[in-house]
Structure 1
Amino acid sequence: MSGEWIELEATDGHRFQAWHIRPEDEPRAGLVIAMEIFGVNGHIRDVAAGFAAEGYEVLAPQLYDRAERGVDLPYDADGVARGRALRERVGWDGPMLDVGACVSHLRRGEERLPTGIVGYCYGGAVAWLAAARVQGLSCAVGYYGTAILNFMNATPKCPTMLHFGEKDATIPLEKIELLADKNPEVAIHVYAADHGFNSDRRANYDEAAASLARERTLDFLEAHLK
């Protein structure tokens, strides 16, 4: 099982790269992986491989291709600064079109694979918005998406799950509680961990929280991608 870069086209004509990986056998469903602010780097490709090993056909789009192609940033202060700047440059409407193109690709032909999205950091907010805006998604999962707080009034149109860390200074607990009050149908889990707890490339990696969140995510995907 190995992945490859493919090129897709959004409905506005924008062409972008996406990391594509299939399971060994026929896929059970499709999955879009929305990247952190660091691009589709080694960690995100490993995450994609992990989901492919669970039977999913996975696409991880380079959401920064609208501003700069092939972004792969380091986990340091410069990487964070560049990632944030690129995020501002691409905005949110374009990435929604890119996610939509991935969903259309995964749901192609007679297979019509049920398709979900899982996003991390920046991608967590992408997943949250996609649940409200992108047609064809069967479910969405977002990890510690700080920018979700800018879209508190977005209404998911598919089953949605969110993971947060109680030590994450960028997402105060009172904001998570407000989000939960506004969206009682959304499954929200809070862990004794910090921002970025899922990435073993980051100082804030928390194995226990990452393992439990993954278990919950896999159960959620299995329940809704049928």
Structure 2
Amino acid sequence: MHVDLTAADGHTLSAWIEGPANASRALVMVQEIFGVNSHMRRLAGVYAAQGYRVVVPALFDRVSRGVELGYTADDVARGRTLRSAVSDAHALADIEAARTALPAGLPQGIIGYCWGGTIAWWGATKLTGFKAAVGYYGSGIAATKDVVPNCPVQLHFGEDDSGIPMADVRAIEAARPEVEVFVYEGAGHGFACEQRGSYVKPQAAKAEARSIEFLAKHVK
């Protein structure tokens, strides 16, 4: 269901919430550059089925409300424009609003995809309160690889991602040996999104299983 959240600076944003009301654990899920679209809602359902209360904040509400893009070239261009208009500070403020909107006392994790993969890393390194973080193909992670995370982190990258050189992935591994880093052969950017041409079902399933196992281990 859709709900409204309020960030610390007074900004009101929408969010998708799913999962059992009596859940024993919670998860903030962070969108790609395509908004809180049907792909993100499907993923929320996957983790809701694992017993999480899941909240997916609409980070583009700072710029344009109700954004739900597809995956055409025009959608990519629109998503990049919207993403560039949202400051890192505002994105983190909205993540914190989502985190604090979850039922008090529940252990919380964070997971993100694409732009959200980078933000999930920031959730681990710039925020406190998360028990674990999982990031998929976050291109901005390498730039802050030297920051020590406040919780266990697992990262997923496609070997053939044209936007994230393998040199960046290896640099992350070298800087942060405590972080679980998985690289998927034959996979590019967005390999875990069933609506994209880059979708690789076997690798997506493998990454999802690893994510579920990792979060179950630490978010408790």
Q: Is the TM value for this pair above 0.5?
A: yes
| Shift, 1:104, TM fit | 1.1
**Are 1:107 and 1:115, in contact at CA under 8 Å, matched by a contact in 2?**
no
The equivalent residue for 1:162 is 155
Matches within 5 A, 1:121-136: 121-136=114-129
Give the whole-Å Cα distance in 2 for the aligned partners of 1:220 and 1:80.
Answer: 30
**Are 2:18 and 2:53, in contact at CA under 8 Å, matched by a contact in 1?**
yes
Give the whole-Å Cα distance in 1 for the aligned partners of 2:33 and 2:142.
Answer: 16
Give the whole-Å Cα distance in 1 for the aligned partners of 2:78 and 2:127.
Answer: 27
CA offsets per residue over residues 104-144 of structure 1, 9 Å max, x none?
Answer: 12142xxx110001100110011011111122111100000
1:82 alignment partner, SS class: helix
Residue 81 (structure 2) pairs with residue 88 (structure 1) = no
Residue 17 (structure 2) pairs with residue 33 (structure 1) = no
Give the whole-Å Cα distance in 2 for the aligned partners of 1:68 and 1:154.
Answer: 31
Residue 18 (structure 2) pairs with residue 21 (structure 1) = yes
1:65 alignment partner, SS class: helix
The equivalent residue for 1:118 is 111
Residue 169 (structure 2) pairs with residue 173 (structure 1) = no
The one of 38, 61, 80 equivalent to 1:65 is 61
**Are 1:129 and 1:154, in contact at CA under 8 Å, matched by a contact in 2?**
no
Q: Which runs of 4+ in 1 moved over 3 A?
A: none
The runs of 5 or more residues in structure 2 that have no matched partner are none
Give the whole-Å Cα distance in 2 for the aligned partners of 1:132 and 1:219.
Answer: 21
The equivalent residue for 1:141 is 134
Give the whole-Å Cα distance in 1 for the aligned partners of 2:179 and 2:149.
Answer: 8
| Shift, 1:85, TM fit | 1.1
Give the whole-Å Cα distance in 2 for the aligned partners of 1:155 and 1:75.
Answer: 34
**Are 1:99 and 1:134, in contact at CA under 8 Å, matched by a contact in 2?**
no
CA offsets per residue over residues 18-71 of structure 1, 9 Å max, x none?
Answer: 001123x73131001100100000000000011101110000000111111111
Give the whole-Å Cα distance in 1 for the aligned partners of 2:126 and 2:77.
Answer: 28
TM-score by length of 2: 0.96
The equivalent residue for 1:207 is 201
Q: For residues 34 and 149 of structure 1, do their structure 2 counterparts lie closer, same or farther at Cα, with a shift above 3 Å needed?
A: same
Give the whole-Å Cα distance in 1 for the aligned partners of 2:26 and 2:102.
Answer: 6
Q: Which amino acid aligns with 2:216?
A: E
Give the whole-Å Cα distance in 2 for the aligned partners of 1:129 and 1:46.
Answer: 24
TM-score by length of 1: 0.94
Count, aligned residues: 219
- Equivalent pairs: percent with the same residue? 43
Q: Which amino acid aligns with 1:64?
A: F
Residue 198 (structure 2) pairs with residue 197 (structure 1) = no
1:218 alignment partner, SS class: helix
Give the whole-Å Cα distance in 2 for the aligned partners of 1:107 and 1:142.
Answer: 23
Please tell me the root mean square deviation across aligned C-alpha atoms, in Å: 1.1
Give the whole-Å Cα distance in 2 for the aligned partners of 1:19 and 1:118.
Answer: 14
Give the whole-Å Cα distance in 2 for the aligned partners of 1:206 and 1:44.
Answer: 17
2:40 alignment partner, SS class: helix
* Comparing 154-163 and 32-41, the one that deviates more: 154-163
